[in-house]
């Protein structure tokens, strides 16, 4: 393949695409994806294995709970991550 072949102008009409509205897009060749299908469509290739979670009850100071909740809907995952980092760091310094 010649270098000039890869540098040729594209045939995409970007102005037309930029001016398109959602209802103008033809989705006839795409199946409707339900929320249930979407929730199961997680790509995990190359990611660490997800460990199973265990539900516990934990008493923490009210200001700590409030601060983590202000971090957003994923605050429980953030708490888990903080605890995992603490555990991993502690394992490095514990003498056997």
Residue 60 lies in a domain: yes
Q: What is the pLDDT of residue 2?
A: 61
Domain that holds residue 96: 55-96
Residue 33 lies in a domain: no
Q: What is the pLDDT of residue 8?
A: 62
**pLDDT tens across 20-49, in order?**
998 888 888 888 888 887 777 666 667 677
- The pTM score is 0.47
Residue 89 lies in a domain: yes
* Number of domains the chain is built from: 1
Q: What is the pLDDT of residue 7?
A: 57
Residue 6 has pLDDT above 70, yes or no: no
Residue 18 lies in a domain: no
Q: What is the DSSP string of 47-93?
A: SPPPPPP--------HHHHHHHHTT-TTHHHHHHHHHHHHHHHHHHH
């Amino acid at each position: 393949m010649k270098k000039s072949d890869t540098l040729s102008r594209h045939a995409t009409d970007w102005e037309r695409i930029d001016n398109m509205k959602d209802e103008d897009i033809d989705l006839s060749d795409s199946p409707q994806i339900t929320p249930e299908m979407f929730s199961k469509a997680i790509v995990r290739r190359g990611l660490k294995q997800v460990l199973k979670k265990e539900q516990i009850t934990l008493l923490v100071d009210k200001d700590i709970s409030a601060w983590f909740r202000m971090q957003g809907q994923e605050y429980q995952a953030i708490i888990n991550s903080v605890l995992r980092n603490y555990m991993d760091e502690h394992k490095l310094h514990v003498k056997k």
